[in-house]
Amino acid sequence: MSEARRANHRDPQPAGRTGAADGLVLLADAADERRFGAKAANLARALRAGLPVPDGLVLASDTARQVGDGASAALTALVAATQRWGATIAVRSSAVGEDGPTASFAGQHVTRLGVRATEGALRAAITTVAASATSPHAVAYRHAILGAEGPGRPSTAFGTTAAVAVLIQPLIHAQVSGVMFTVDPVTGTDDLLIEAVHGLGEAAVGGQVTPESWQLRRGGVITRGRPGRQAVAIEPAPGGGTRDRPLTPAELAGPCLEPGALRHLTRLAADCRALFGKDALDIEWAWAGRRPWLLQCRPVTA
């Protein structure tokens, strides 16, 4: 096990891998994109390569539906595993056809952050995330981008049977979060573009703030920096879910990212390019414990 993997490893082993719990696997074992979607499969590959990915568990789409329908051996195993993490949970979609070169599905499916490791809270979050694939805007996006016979869709009423696996990980209590493009998404040049906000990245996703922005050469030389506009950060709430927190005077006075953090992110981008063999990547990351964490890595959508 690499040093990066060892530092992060929490051994969230499900209590049972056969029978009704067969669709619950360790994130590192979720490499089958056709079953677990590209988001989970990409993170599985990165985790196995020693990149700083939080350990986690993945529910196959049929198992996620069983969890929503009622009693499930997979849910029992999931509760036991997540309670050992000692942290609140992030529950995200990993749909077949999501995070590909032609369709990102960014913002189309629901994410639940700060979920408590209880049967009721996990079942509700998993049901909501899985069901979001059939929301009108997600169905319209899938139809427009992937076509009437897009990946994960048998020839039935469109969207009702989209294959949506569910990714469950400990929620990183990030001091800073953001996105990173390994090519400039506007000009297509080889510059690295990094956007950052204080706290969880949902503040930027929801349009509540203007992120801080940095442009760098791939060697790490900063060519442009633009301050953000942010008054509050989103953070995990003690009782579950998230809450808004006013920024501290120090956060208001300084940038989100210091030069040392930018160097770490530049190296993470290079590691992702080398691993996936792609030049143009869209990376979601979180900064906590003086290190970056890789939360998502997908091709820049054409």
For residue range 96-151, what is the model confidence (pLDDT) as tens digits?
A: 766 555 555 545 568 999 999 999 999 999 999 988 766 444 444 455 555 554 44
For residue 26, give the 3-state DSSP assignment.
Answer: strand
pLDDT at residue number 18: 33
> For 109-248, where are the alpha helices, taking DSSP H only?
119-131, 136-146, 202-205
Of 262, 123, 102, 253, give the one whose Cα is nearest residue 180.
262
pLDDT at residue number 131: 85
pLDDT at residue number 292: 98
| Residue 6 burial class via C-beta count within 10 angstroms: exposed 0-12, middle 13-18, buried 19 and up | exposed
pLDDT of 209 higher than 50: yes
Q: Are 87 and 170 in contact (CB under 8 A)?
A: yes
pLDDT of 227 higher than 60: yes
pLDDT top residue among 87 and 154:
87
Convert the pLDDT of each residue in 14-43 to its tens digit.
433 433 457 899 999 999 998 999 999 999
Burial 254-268 (b: 16+ CB within 10 A, else e): ebbbeeebbebbbeb
Of 49, 40, 158, 50, give the one whose Cα is nearest residue 99.
40
Of 169, 168, 167, 166, give the one whose Cα is nearest residue 61.
166
Q: What is the mean pLDDT of residues 187-209?
A: 89
pLDDT at residue number 185: 82
**C-alpha neighbours within 13 Å on the C-beta side of residue 96:** 20
In CATH terms, 176-299 corresponds, of 3.30.450.70, 3.50.50.60, 3.30.300.30, 3.30.470.20, to 3.30.470.20
Q: Which of 58-62, 64-68, 160-164, 261-265 has maximum average pLDDT?
A: 261-265
- From CA 103, how far away is CA 88, in angstroms rounded? 30
- Tell me the pLDDT band of 159, cut-offs 50, 70 and 90: very low
Write down the domain spans for the chain.
Answer: 3-170, 176-299
Transcribe 43-59 into DSSP letters: HHHHHHTT--PPP-EEE
In the block, which residue shows the tokens 């997600």? 138
pLDDT at residue number 6: 38
For residue 73, give the 3-state DSSP assignment.
Answer: helix
Convert the pLDDT of each residue in 3-12 to its tens digit.
334 334 444 4
**Count of all residues that appear for the chain in the document:** 302
Write down the pTM of the prediction: 0.84
Please tell me the CATH superfamily of domain 3-170, with its number: ATP-grasp fold, A domain (3.30.1490.20)
pLDDT of 244 higher than 60: yes
Task: Name the residue type at position 203.
Answer: A
Q: Are 15 and 77 in contact (CB under 8 A)?
A: yes
